[in-house]
């Protein structure tokens, strides 16, 4: 029988995940107009981390204001975004898992299509 690895740790470079359960990036469209997180994001990432995933990807974080899919996307184009995002990251760490950010810039896609 194939051994079950889902609940065994996984070492990735300097980080050891407590298990191999991964939450995919899932856009929530609930950020403030300037891309800042709010109380929703604390609760959302807190609730997800309660399940004990080894790794949690954030929803896409826009690296520029112009690169957002919608005006309600979370941003990471300014230092002002960092405290709120770090807050959600801390909540995930309290649950023993790790958080990875995922980033978006839809302008890159537009440029690719224009030049295809
Ligand atoms: C509601 C929703 C929001 C999503 N938001 C993002 C996102 O922000 N960034 C991203 O890369 N993928 C996003 N995805 C894609 C998912 O991360 C995932 O790749 C997709 O649901 C396929 O998952 P599966 O291969 O486990 O079936 C989203 C999917 C859903 C259903």
* Top mutation candidate among 23, 27, 63, 106 for ligand 1, by most atoms within 8 Å of CB: 27
Percent of the chain exceeding pLDDT 70 equals: 91
7-12 own/partner pairs: CB under 8 Å, 24+ apart: 9/54, 10/54
Q: How far apart are CA 55 and CA 57, in angstroms?
A: 7
* pTM for this prediction: 0.85
48-96 per-position pLDDT tens digit: 999 999 999 999 999 999 999 999 999 999 999 999 999 888 888 887 8
- 73 within ligand 1 shell (Cβ under 6 A): no
Q: Whose CA is nearest to atom 26 of ligand 1?
A: 24
pLDDT at 4: 78
57-67 per-position pLDDT tens digit: 999 999 999 99
Q: Calculate mean pLDDT across residues 83-110.
A: 85
Coil, strand or helix at 91: helix
pLDDT at 114: 61
Is-contact 108 67, C-beta < 8 A? Answer: yes
Q: How far apart are CA 101 and CA 63, in angstroms?
A: 11
- Would you identify the CATH topology of the domain 21-114? Transcription Regulator spoIIAA (3.30.750)
Domain ranges of the chain: 21-114
């Amino acid at each position: 029988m194939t051994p079950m690895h889902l609940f065994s740790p996984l070492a990735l470079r300097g980080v050891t995940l407590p298990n191999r359960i991964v939450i995919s990036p899932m856009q929530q469209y609930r950020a403030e107009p300037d891309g800042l997180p709010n109380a929703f994001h604390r609760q959302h990432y807190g609730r997800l981390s309660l399940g004990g995933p080894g790794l949690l990807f954030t929803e896409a974080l826009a690296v520029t204001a112009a690169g957002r899919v919608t005006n309600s996307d979370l941003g990471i184009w300014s230092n002002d975004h960092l405290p709120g995002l770090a807050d959600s990251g801390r909540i995930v760490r309290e649950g023993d898992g790790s958080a990875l950010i995922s980033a978006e810039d839809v302008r890159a896609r537009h440029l690719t299509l224009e030049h295809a």
